[in-house]
Structure 1
């Protein structure tokens, strides 16, 4: 009897358990953003009126299993409007939800008597930074997968009626599905994937990324070599343990910065397990909405006080131009040595419409890291090239192969993006507009193996040449990966003279960027405008061709340049240059200042120049047959140039020695924004005509220029030795963000200082024949060892494009025609 009862009890238990399992309800799905179609991690999904629920993972997925379900689930998250959806009881079902942003959903933080409990947690986070920050590691490396998508959004009905948009309407009709059933129209322009191996070592801080495979599909993207370098994980990495993060050229303060209490308010809202880590959830928002600071949520581990997850956004209230939103989401994991490294990152940059009739743009970045190895640094030589592309990185393997490379498979939406971009590329009007945009950005028009341009120099007018026309060309990478030929031909109808430039360059090595260049040139030039030093200011050089051409001279120049990067950050350049000087203005110099009879106007010079440049952490990308600098992160750029002139060589008239040293540095100054500092000095050892000395570049136009002394007259100061300081302080929204009404204008303050101290030795002054020298150009130089000083302050971002500088001249106020004060204007495009 007992045995029968036991068997009956076991059978009853098994049947009951089976019945319970049969009645279990499983609801799974994905939560996405209604505007972008992106998944939203960390969303609370629960049965309405209960505590039964879960939180979405980093990819927006969720699963709820329960035997006692309700009939409605609700999804809620900070910054979004909650959304409910009915579900059936029993069985397995898929429920996807799209959430809409709620600009007014930020909750108020009410602080009761006593300290905010979030503060104690933040203090521990800062105290444990040295243990948890990945920068404590001597080295780390990992495999990384990166995905980038760029879309056009906010396509209004008015914009749809434009002729161009109508011609691609057949594509737009299917675009509705990209953001989901409830989403807004999104037009994809670009999608890319890459698989890389990233290496980092400390002391010295060096980084290398080996890009192994890339897949690129985009409107207007052809070769893809530049894009391939940009889509690696190196450009999508953000470390919130740093006090300040550089995003789209701006400095944002981290919510776990050392000075967190100065910038943020916090609310301890929950505690929850994330995996095996028990975490505190803290919501945060900036004390001033206009500050370059974040709003969002962080999850801090209880034991290590480490950052486990973060969801941080910058909204339209911040003092940024054209940016509607920036959002960064991260999930971090610990390494065996305690430091935490991001294993998943998602970045969204929402660019707003410039005008009411234009569309916006979405840039979306995703990275996944795995197979992390720590504290196994490679030799320094290994890091010499920060970005290395495998030779077969651009080979198009099929989807089956790429499925083995991806850390997770593409979604159906992403697969649809690839198909739509293929369709867009084949629309003729899209190709036409793509070509126009390329010409606008690059300055040249691609006609196959040759580029025609640059278009900026096609026409000019000045008082010497009259109307000047010019055309030119250069070969591109389709012509040769080793040889680059370029030429320009111009003619001035006023002086009836032909001008030309011809050059040939051979790229001897791409690994250690090594080039040999020959150039011949005959042209009209301005004294004091060294075009080789102003290559990064093409607009200034073009503008110098217009108007009243002060101190112009004709010059024939022949130059040979050899350049090689000897090791990372260290570049050596050698130049041999011959040039002639034929002035168009009153000028003369004595052969012998003791015999004031014979004087000359023209001369010839032959120079050998050695230039050494050291920029320890400078990052370069290779744009076809060019190498483009992206600047430095931490270290200054140091340049030293020695020039030796040889008398008698190819008819040269003078022997001389010149030595110049410059140091340029971008300095992060915390709440005060960013400073740009350039210190430069030069010494000329010999007695020479002043065109061979240093003619400091003045500015008598109403336009402000960072490369000139803006209240110095043309030719007012000439020196044979000097030291200078140029300082620019960009204060962003500091102070103005805190003034009611003014803060709505989004103006930004800035400060400038130009200081130069130099001199002109008596021997060089006596060489000048003042009877034949234009009064305006008679160089008196610096006297009494007094520096020339001009100080300025200004406001930028007026109407988002205009900058106004107010500049005061502090010294040499008694000089003839000296301007003591100037109001100068600049049109600029900046974020």
Structure 2
């Protein structure tokens, strides 16, 4: 009995123990299954550039289970599927598959190779059914005034900017060159940058900056305060100039504008007002991005040569605002040397409803110019934090568009590690190390110095710049062969003082020419400069441009006129003092005192008493004058390069100029009393779809009777080279005016016309139209005092006068971008055709390296 009870009790305990063990085993297996969960994370990057690919699809093969990469290309997917293959795909890239292991955590990175960018043909159902994407785009356009950041009275944010420039597509032929063989060891280590599937690159430059960006809408002004910069680059020794151009100011991309400026070209936004004329659209999906429900829309240009984008955009349903966009410019677009331009942006809604970009990434892939060269990659990244709507700051706060702290150069790694918005990737750290290695190689130092000399025109030797080298040797009919040596001090000598000088010698006239000058930069913030100079040299009449004309684009033309036969040459000795002050962001003024003694080298005489037509004749003369120059440019921006200031031009408003000159007789030996005024207006208008227009209006008047060499000699062009600072069918010194008004007009159609002609569109030619008109005249009293003959009765060279009400006029049509470099213009002269020896038309050539 007791034995039976014992057996029964033992049996019950065994069952209880067995049940307990089964429970324990169940929980163990359950936990083990949780521990064996599949977790895959990694990064998706471009195999060519190394840049992250945001918004790419990562999914299990044969399923709909997947995720999208974030803006920095990262993804994380949890769980698995029946298949053991993980797929990554994105528009413009080859789809890539990799096998993963189930039940473990693992990292799988992808490098996707770009393919021909194409979304395929969009299919729109025929009949009354409208493309469903159109209604969404209409709502986006209708809501642009509410969503555009420019509607805010003021905003500000902290900005972090990163720029990297690399050499890519390094051919085997280029590797075999001697200069490249000397850096073979570095080239061999490039693979560490490229990665398992990436292409080798040779890094040249990388920079970082931290700044504060401010904006106000009325008047529309912006300012960037650059607080810290870090620059590593081959040939970059001083970052004063570079530090001003690597910040947020030059990385402003707003898709709410109808046209966006990238690498100096205008691109149509996919949400521009004229969207249906330029783009095709397809609604492909709807997804949540964070808490925003978004429509996913594919877009591409109707004309593949249009300066427009192909890509995807995510539109927030609430307010129909742009939440994310990935836009690429196709290789077929009417651009030179560009393989690809990619712009990716993520935006955030602020209080008040407007959206500001939080992250922007731009890639510009420049193709090889020849088979023996390499291409370039330029990568720009901007991260904006602490975005806030603010009270508009006072207009005076925006006097300087870019302000940089004196101690902005910060190389401390610990500081950047703590303050940069995003950590540097291992690839970027390798880039910095490789640049440091490259710039210490002797052959790289040599070629870097040669490149800098060519670009700057000067050879830098410690505290001196020797040059400019284009003027080292010349030849003309007066001096014969001419040699010149000169130089100037640079910023290594002083940031406040600059001294310059030159010495030249002509082997035919056997005379020395020379000059000395000094400049004092009293205030770099408001750019206050005083200068003094002395010159004794030779020049020519009739080539110098009209007052207030922008001559930057005519430097090559003016240089050519210094060679060969000089037009009415004269020797001179001049003394000059000048003062310049930037009075406000828009307004500047300068005052110049000038005394100049002229010795004409051609047959010239003037009346010593201009009130008498029978007064004695003289050849040499002198002028003493004071000139006040005023300039108003509402949104002009500047950067400071060493001891010089460079204008970046205006974006929306014209530039107004005025000069007032008073000449004094008897003052320091001047021979004439006179008053001269000149006025000018110039502007470049961006007309989007229609191209861009540039105009220059100039007018001037000299109040007194003077020898014709002191009147306005309009610039003619007898060279084969086209220039927009001259009348291209007018001869040198053909017309002189005492009063004048001129209009120079040029319209660049870009690809608007020729892109639509089937047989011509593949050539990527661009049409240009020009028109120049000049009104002028000389008073009868001024004509009366001109000397017609010399003392011996020999006839003297004279000048022509424009008839009252009858202008000089010419029109032209041109084709640019021929073989990517050349422009040919046909110019037709419309008036004064009856003059002997006048050609009714001219063909002019010009060269331009541009996009």
Q: Same fold per TM (> 0.5)?
A: yes
Q: Is the 8 A contact 1:716 1:777 kept in 2?
A: no
Structure 1 residue 651 displacement after superposition: 1.1
User: Which residue of structure 1 lines up, in the alignment, with residue 13 of structure 2?
Assistant: none
CA deviation vs aligned residue, 1:319-350 (integer Å, no higher than 9, x gap): 11111111110000000111000000000011
User: Is 1:544–2:561 an aligned residue pair?
Assistant: yes
User: Which residue of structure 2 lines up, in the alignment, with residue 21 of structure 1?
Assistant: 34
Structure 1 residue 10 displacement after superposition: 11
For the structure 1 residues 546 and 285, does the alpha-carbon distance in structure 2 shift closer, same or farther, using more than 3 Å as the test? same
CA distance in 2, matches of 1:331, 1:452: 48
Q: Is the 8 A contact 1:450 1:474 kept in 2?
A: yes
CA distance in 1, matches of 2:357, 2:635: 23
User: Which residue of structure 1 lines up, in the alignment, with residue 525 of structure 2?
Assistant: 511
Match of 1:745 among 763, 772, 776: 763
Match of 1:786 among 795, 806, 823: 806
Q: Is the 8 A contact 1:138 1:377 kept in 2?
A: yes
User: Is 1:31–2:44 an aligned residue pair?
Assistant: yes
Match of 2:481 among 459, 467, 483: 467
User: Is 1:606–2:624 an aligned residue pair?
Assistant: yes
CA distance in 2, matches of 1:9, 1:226: 75
User: Is 1:124–2:139 an aligned residue pair?
Assistant: yes
Structure 1 residue 197 displacement after superposition: 0.6
CA distance in 1, matches of 2:760, 2:78: 53
Q: How does 1:609-628 map to 2 (within 5 A)?
A: 609-628=627-646
User: Which residue of structure 2 lines up, in the alignment, with residue 447 of structure 1?
Assistant: 461
Structure 1 residue 50 displacement after superposition: 0.5
SS at match of 2:35: helix
CA distance in 1, matches of 2:740, 2:435: 57
Match of 2:72 among 50, 54, 59: 59
User: Is 1:228–2:243 an aligned residue pair?
Assistant: yes
Q: Is the 8 A contact 1:562 1:573 kept in 2?
A: yes
User: Which residue of structure 2 lines up, in the alignment, with residue 755 of structure 1?
Assistant: 773
For the structure 1 residues 211 and 17, does the alpha-carbon distance in structure 2 shift closer, same or farther, using more than 3 Å as the test? farther
Match of 2:155 among 137, 140, 163: 140
Structure 1 residue 535 displacement after superposition: 6.4
Which stretch shifts more, 174-183 or 764-773? 764-773
User: Which residue of structure 1 lines up, in the alignment, with residue 415 of structure 2?
Assistant: 401
User: Which residue of structure 1 lines up, in the alignment, with residue 304 of structure 2?
Assistant: 289
Match of 2:130 among 112, 115, 118: 115
For the structure 1 residues 493 and 59, does the alpha-carbon distance in structure 2 shift closer, same or farther, using more than 3 Å as the test? same
For the structure 1 residues 669 and 535, does the alpha-carbon distance in structure 2 shift closer, same or farther, using more than 3 Å as the test? closer
Q: Is the 8 A contact 2:80 2:102 kept in 1?
A: no
User: Is 1:797–2:817 an aligned residue pair?
Assistant: yes
User: Which residue of structure 1 lines up, in the alignment, with residue 613 of structure 2?
Assistant: 595
CA distance in 1, matches of 2:795, 2:457: 39
Structure 1 residue 777 displacement after superposition: 4.8
Q: Is the 8 A contact 1:352 1:360 kept in 2?
A: yes
Match of 2:602 among 576, 585, 591: 585
For the structure 1 residues 775 and 234, does the alpha-carbon distance in structure 2 shift closer, same or farther, using more than 3 Å as the test? farther
Match of 1:479 among 474, 493, 515: 493
For the structure 1 residues 359 and 775, does the alpha-carbon distance in structure 2 shift closer, same or farther, using more than 3 Å as the test? farther
User: Which residue of structure 2 lines up, in the alignment, with residue 692 of structure 1?
Assistant: 710
SS at match of 1:441: helix
CA distance in 1, matches of 2:538, 2:21: 108
User: Is 1:180–2:195 an aligned residue pair?
Assistant: yes
User: Is 1:338–2:358 an aligned residue pair?
Assistant: no
Structure 1 residue 529 displacement after superposition: 3.1
Q: Which runs of 5+ in 2 are unaligned?
A: 1-16
SS at match of 1:217: strand
Q: Is the 8 A contact 1:70 1:89 kept in 2?
A: no
User: Is 1:157–2:182 an aligned residue pair?
Assistant: no
CA distance in 2, matches of 1:127, 1:17: 55
User: Which residue of structure 1 lines up, in the alignment, with residue 368 of structure 2?
Assistant: 353
Match of 2:425 among 411, 417, 431: 411
User: Which residue of structure 1 lines up, in the alignment, with residue 55 of structure 2?
Assistant: 42
CA distance in 2, matches of 1:672, 1:138: 31
Which stretch shifts more, 753-762 or 535-544? 535-544
CA distance in 2, matches of 1:9, 1:56: 43
Structure 1 residue 539 displacement after superposition: 2.8
CA deviation vs aligned residue, 1:144-196 (integer Å, no higher than 9, x gap): 11111000000011111111111101001110121221111100011111111
Q: Is the 8 A contact 1:20 1:67 kept in 2?
A: no
CA distance in 2, matches of 1:314, 1:104: 9
Match of 1:87 among 83, 88, 100: 100
Structure 1 residue 572 displacement after superposition: 0.8
CA deviation vs aligned residue, 1:775-829 (integer Å, no higher than 9, x gap): 8952231113211111001001111111100001111111232221111111221
Structure 1 residue 728 displacement after superposition: 1.1
CA distance in 2, matches of 1:674, 1:193: 34
CA deviation vs aligned residue, 1:602-641 (integer Å, no higher than 9, x gap): 2111110000111111111110111111111111111110
For the structure 1 residues 9 and 390, does the alpha-carbon distance in structure 2 shift closer, same or farther, using more than 3 Å as the test? farther
CA distance in 1, matches of 2:208, 2:775: 53
User: Which residue of structure 2 lines up, in the alignment, with residue 555 of structure 1?
Assistant: 572
CA distance in 2, matches of 1:179, 1:343: 28
Match of 2:847 among 823, 827, 830: 827
SS at match of 2:34: helix
Q: Is the 8 A contact 2:162 2:208 kept in 1?
A: yes
Q: Is the 8 A contact 2:604 2:796 kept in 1?
A: no
User: Is 1:313–2:328 an aligned residue pair?
Assistant: yes
Match of 2:507 among 493, 509, 530: 493
CA distance in 1, matches of 2:693, 2:60: 53
SS at match of 2:185: helix
CA distance in 2, matches of 1:514, 1:701: 39
What is the aligned length? 828
Match of 2:86 among 73, 83, 92: 73
User: Which residue of structure 2 lines up, in the alignment, with residue 642 of structure 1?
Assistant: 660
Structure 1 residue 21 displacement after superposition: 2.4
User: Which residue of structure 2 lines up, in the alignment, with residue 710 of structure 1?
Assistant: 728
Match of 2:585 among 549, 568, 583: 568
Q: How does 1:183-194 map to 2 (within 5 A)?
A: 183-194=198-209
User: Is 1:734–2:752 an aligned residue pair?
Assistant: yes
CA deviation vs aligned residue, 1:486-542 (integer Å, no higher than 9, x gap): 001111112222111211000000110000000111111111333796763443332
User: Which residue of structure 2 lines up, in the alignment, with residue 681 of structure 1?
Assistant: 699
Which stretch shifts more, 592-601 or 297-306? 592-601
Structure 1 residue 284 displacement after superposition: 0.9
Q: Is the 8 A contact 2:91 2:117 kept in 1?
A: no
CA distance in 1, matches of 2:359, 2:20: 52
Q: Which runs of 5+ in 1 are unaligned?
A: none
Q: Is the 8 A contact 1:711 1:821 kept in 2?
A: yes
Structure 1 residue 598 displacement after superposition: 2.0
CA distance in 1, matches of 2:153, 2:566: 57
Structure 1 residue 742 displacement after superposition: 1.2
SS at match of 2:770: strand
Structure 1 residue 741 displacement after superposition: 2.9
CA distance in 2, matches of 1:115, 1:709: 54
CA distance in 2, matches of 1:776, 1:235: 56
Q: Is the 8 A contact 2:162 2:381 kept in 1?
A: yes
Structure 1 residue 589 displacement after superposition: 2.1
SS at match of 2:276: helix
